[in-house]
Amino acid sequence: MTRATVSGVSVPTQILLAGKGVDSSDEATFDVHDPATEEVIATIADATVDDGVRALDKAVEAQEQWAEFTPRQKAEVLRAIFDEVTKRTDDFARVMTTEMGKPFAEAQGEVAYGTEYFRWFSEEAVRFPGRFGGAPAGVGTIAVTRRPVGPVLAITPWNFPLAMATRKIAPALAAGCPIVVKPAHETPLTMLLLGEVIAEVFDRFNAPQGLVSIVPTTHASDMSSTLMADSRLRKVTFTGSTPVGKVLVKQSADNLLRTSMELGGNAPFVIAADADLDLVLTCAMQAKMRNGGEACIAANRFLVDSSIAEEFTRRLTEAMEGVVMGHGLEEGTTLGPVITAKQRDRIAELVKDALDRGAVATVGGEVPEGPGYFYPATVLKDVPADAKILTEEIFGPVATVSVFDDLDEGIRRANDTPFGLAAYGFSSNTDTARKLAQGLRAGMIGINRGAISDPAAPFGGIKQSGFGREGGTEGIEEYLDTVYLALQ
């Protein structure tokens, strides 16, 4: 298997097809860049559509062999993957920081979070839901059981190169499904390293290697449409933008594929007049600046009661002024680069539009000189309602502050969006907190909390933020079919 050395870590650079490194069938490659330096850090095999079909071939073969493993054996394989990735936390974190840009400490945190899905679903693998009982009419017995959906295509994003994949791979394997993973072409290295570790564990347990294949490609649309048109594929799971998700859902209709769509967000962060501002500021920085704001559940809109808006804005500005921008591997860095120049420029355009419409930048707001795709921590106050930044997902380190005069207005404005992935509400009063919890419309709601992701909880949204859930006891259901047995 050909390899590259990335920040001192040896990583595979070929397609991982059923545990083996192979070149693209047309020998094509593409470059991976460090967004902090713009330098090429590795050259990767560029999988063709035919390579994707070969991966599906292997998956179909592997499913029959995997079915011979008991639930306990499957659980032991998943737990071993958790152990091996955990042992190599720093290797994964260094690779992730170099190809994606997040600070090293945050990358270590992602490894801890991402590997937890293997541990969680190793435990769920032995607890499939089901029921058994007599029919109400007194004739026969009803048995309800679960069976694996079948081969899965997973399309993962660049912002969390490890965790967005593990929360798909782990439940698929626990349920008995093989999976073909198409990572984002901006960040394939973390996924290839994970695939190599998984292959090593499979060897140890004599598990079929075709269960997991990694197919990095710059031909994502062609590959996904071809695989989804193949009747052997039974499910597609996607994390990414709402427009792409809609295309995939339409394509899934021809073969009536099971789909899980974790799509865009526009998370409101509502602060009532009686909120504890010390807690609010801590949680605001978590909800806004985790991953440099490049997170689907990042706080996009800070909606603040007018009585405390000035103090909140001042304190948020001070906190954002303390953010240290630089390469993620440099000591002290708390904000890395944006993933690409295109994304950086998109953020800059949103900020400019807001400023042109009357918003005021209390910190940041200007693109620094290169190299690297950096955008500074920015706070915008007095953001008018017609600014595009209030309706589009920012996906960057920019906080917008708007003011409301009563909580009903704040909740109404929070819900005034076609998206519904995450929402946050803050109050020190029990009744007000309950009102926020009941009034906010999203698949995930944090009350007096800025960090809400948890492998033991269902992750997903409503409205145009998608459907389906990842994690929690609900996560494995996405990979299982319900079967009713009518027994005499």
- Per domain, the residue ranges of the chain are 3-263+465-487, 267-447
Average pLDDT rounded to a whole number, residues 302-315 = 98
Summarize pLDDT for 401-451 with one digit per residue, the tens: 999 999 999 999 999 999 999 999 999 999 999 999 999 999 999 999 999
User: What's the burial of 465, exposed, middle or buried (CB within 10 Å: 0-12/13-18/19+)?
Assistant: buried
Strand 15-17 relative to strand 20-22, pairing: antiparallel
Summarize pLDDT for 215-254 with one digit per residue, the tens: 999 999 999 999 999 999 999 999 999 999 999 999 999 9
pLDDT of 461 above 80: yes
N-to-C CA span, the chain: 56
pLDDT of 316 above 80: yes
Distance CA 44, CA 32 (A): 7
Summarize pLDDT for 131-181 with one digit per residue, the tens: 999 999 999 999 999 999 999 999 999 999 999 999 999 999 999 999 999
How many residues are there in the chain? 488
Kindly list the strands in the beta sheet with 422-426, ordered across the sheet, starting from the edge strand earlier in the chain: 360-363, 378-381, 398-404, 299-305, 267-271, 422-426, 444-447
Average pLDDT rounded to a whole number, residues 120-132 = 95
Cβ–Cβ under 8 Å, residues 170 and 456: no
Percent of the chain predicted with pLDDT > 90: 99
Average pLDDT rounded to a whole number, residues 198-213 = 98
Q: Is 364 left (phi over 0), alpha (psi -120 to 50) or beta?
A: left
Mean pLDDT of the residues in the chain: 97
Summarize pLDDT for 21-35 with one digit per residue, the tens: 999 999 999 999 999
Distance CA 252, CA 230 (A): 10
Summarize pLDDT for 45-97 with one digit per residue, the tens: 999 999 999 999 999 999 999 999 999 999 999 999 999 999 999 999 999 99
Note the CATH number of domain 267-447.
3.40.309.10
Catalytic residues: 262
Residue (of 283, 266, 297) closest to 449 by Cα position: 283
Instruction: Band the pLDDT of 328: cuts 50, 70, 90.
Output: very high
Phi, psi of 377 (to 5 degrees): -60, 130
Domain 3-263+465-487 fold: Aldehyde Dehydrogenase; Chain A, domain 1 (3.40.605)
Helices 407-415 & 430-439 angle (0-180, nearest 10) = 30
User: What's the burial of 80, exposed, middle or buried (CB within 10 Å: 0-12/13-18/19+)?
Assistant: buried
Residue (of 186, 102, 167) closest to 460 by Cα position: 167
Strand 235-239 relative to strand 152-155, pairing: parallel
Distance CA 430, CA 193 (A): 47
Instruction: Band the pLDDT of 116: cuts 50, 70, 90.
Output: very high
Distance CA 310, CA 186 (A): 40
Distance CA 335, CA 48 (A): 35
pLDDT of 121 above 90: yes
- Whole-number pLDDT of residue 370: 86
Strand 258-262 relative to strand 131-134, pairing: unpaired
- Whole-number pLDDT of residue 1: 73
Cβ–Cβ under 8 Å, residues 463 and 246: no
State the alpha helices, DSSP H only, in 359-459. 407-415, 430-439
User: In a 3-state reduction of DSSP, which class is residue 24?
Assistant: coil
Distance CA 57, CA 62 (A): 9
Distance CA 117, CA 113 (A): 7
